[in-house]
Amino acid sequence: MCGKTFGVVGHPIKHSLSPRMHNAVFKKLKLDCEYKAFDLEAEELEGKMREFKRNMAGINITIPHKVSIIKYLDALSEDAELIGAVNTVKFGKKTVGYNTDGIGCVKAFEEECVKLKGKRILILGAGGAARAIGFQLAKEKTEMWISDKIVQKSVDLVSEIKRKLNAKVHATTLDEKMLTGLIENMDVLINATPIGMTPNVDETPIDTRMLKKRLVVMDIVYNPVETKLLKDARKKGCKTISGVGMFVNQGAESLRIWLGIEPPVDLMRKTVVEVLKKR
Ligand code: NAP
């Protein structure tokens, strides 16, 4: 029994899988807790945060509030400070912000027995998710190349990671010849762009010809569960990791922070996959 209320705050929020995933955990563990969705625009955030501080135990934050929420918090965890964005808030004497996206990604690799230390990794995209992943993978002592449609975005992210963590990380362009040569020498490819997400399920960020058998390919897009990139990679004989793994593990990490419990990760994954398959 915990008698606590949790939720996810974003805009839009209708399609969030978090309420189904977290409520399945509360039911399974017989915890008297509930998890709701809050569709809030930027100007509603400040007032609602005052209310949440009184009534709730914790919230997840999603697009577009992961950065703007910070001004309503008393403190940040080391990861949230490093990444500069928050996806988990715990209310208590102090309101503390955390970021579990990067650790969620690392745990998704661990579940698939992929060791990261020393690996050469290409990340496509330099947006919000790529930031969290980039900082976390730098802490795992990998060597990274980051490539975004807007080159300046990759350059900025790379120099920030280098400055804060003294990591081996490089910016690269999306030029086809350049990428083909680069991928030849990569161990891992991560798609951190929205390309391939429902309804654009026939799109992929990388030409199939660039994929090679010994590459581990992770797509952080989780709707559909198997994107075109992952289908192409599987056909080429690559090891593939769906974005469901990162999503479930970022949620599991939030539950550890809020309740100190060891969450039933397999149940969380089953719940998410079932909902996605029905959509
Ligand atoms: P975001 O902040 O918009 O970042 C996406 C970045 O990718 C943008 O900088 C975008 O550039 C860039 N991009 C677009 N097309 C590209 C291309 N062809 N090559 C290289 N870069 C390209 O979005 P986000 O929050 O990082 O989310 C990205 C995706 O990850 C979404 O589909 C989201 O649902 C998913 N996600 C999954 C998880 C999970 O737990 N599995 C967690 C977070 C996010 P422009 O801005 O110029 O378009």
| 194 CA to centre of ligand 1 in angstroms | 4
Q: Which amino acid would we find at residue 170?
A: H
Which has the minimum average pLDDT: 8-12, 119-123, 173-177? 173-177
Nearest CA to ligand 1 atom 45: 149
Q: Which atom of ligand 1 is nearest to the CA of 220?
A: 41
- Predicted confidence at residue 3, as pLDDT, reads 79
Q: What is the pLDDT of residues 133-185, one digit of tens each?
A: 999 999 999 999 999 999 999 999 999 999 999 999 999 999 899 999 999 99
**221 CB within 6 A, ligand 1:** yes
Among 8, 193, 203, the mutation site with the greatest number of ligand 1 atoms within 8 A of its Cβ is 193
- Predicted confidence at residue 222, as pLDDT, reads 95
Task: Give mean pLDDT, residues 96-114.
Answer: 98
**128 CB within 6 A, ligand 1:** yes
- Predicted confidence at residue 2, as pLDDT, reads 65
Residue 224 has pLDDT above 50, yes or no: yes
Average pLDDT taken over every residue of the chain: 96
The domains located in the chain, with CATH, are 4-99+245-278 (3.40.50.10860), 102-241 (3.40.50.720)
Dist CA 74 CA 93 (whole Å): 10
- Predicted confidence at residue 1, as pLDDT, reads 47
Among 105, 131, 149, the mutation site with the greatest number of ligand 1 atoms within 8 A of its Cβ is 149
Residue 194 has pLDDT above 60, yes or no: yes
| Residue 27 designated active-site | no
- Predicted confidence at residue 279, as pLDDT, reads 82
**251 CB within 6 A, ligand 1:** no
248-262 burial, b for 16+ CB within 10 Å, e for fewer? bbbbbbbbeebbeee
pTM exceeding the 0.75 threshold for the entire prediction: yes
| 127 CA to centre of ligand 1 in angstroms | 5
- Predicted confidence at residue 238, as pLDDT, reads 97
Residue 71 has pLDDT above 50, yes or no: yes
Dist CA 101 CA 62 (whole Å): 11
Torsion angle in degrees (nearest 10) through CA of 68, 72, 75, 80: -20
Is there a contact between 119 and 142 (Cβ–Cβ < 8 Å)? yes
Percentage of the residues of the chain whose pLDDT score is greater than 90: 96
**179 CB within 6 A, ligand 1:** no
